[in-house]
């Protein structure tokens, strides 16, 4: 059936965390590169909650912007 918004958010956060870790980038380094606060990144990875603007910045920093662009083509 349908997933809840919360489960989608958590799954997205888990995927971003997994990608970040596979690239051996710390949360602090991602914060500096993306210009998103460390606290926001930490909260996102724990709860899935983040602003769209910050999510886009994180995706750009992790070279995932193409995946976002493909979502709504």
Q: What tens digit of pLDDT does each residue of 3-40 get?
A: 899 999 999 999 999 999 999 999 999 999 999 999 99
Q: Report pLDDT for 3.
A: 87
Contact between 12 and 48 under an 8 Å Cβ cutoff? The reply is: yes
In this model, does residue 1 exceed pLDDT 70? no
Confidence of residue 65 (pLDDT cuts 50, 70, 90): very high
Domain total of the chain: 1
Predicted model pTM: 0.91
**Domain that residue 67 falls in:** 5-71
How far apart CA 57 and CA 31 sit, in angstroms, is 10
Instruction: Tell whether the model's pLDDT for residue 66 goes beyond 80.
Output: yes
Q: Domain with 11 in it: what CATH number?
A: 1.10.260.40
């Amino acid at each position: 059936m349908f997933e809840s918004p919360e489960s989608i958010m958590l799954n997205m956060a888990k995927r971003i965390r997994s990608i970040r870790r596979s690239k051996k980038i710390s949360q602090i380094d991602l914060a500096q590169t993306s210009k998103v606060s460390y606290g926001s990144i930490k909260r996102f990875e724990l709860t899935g909650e983040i602003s769209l603007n910050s999510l886009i910045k994180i995706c750009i920093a992790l070279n995932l912007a193409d995946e976002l662009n493909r979502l709504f083509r």
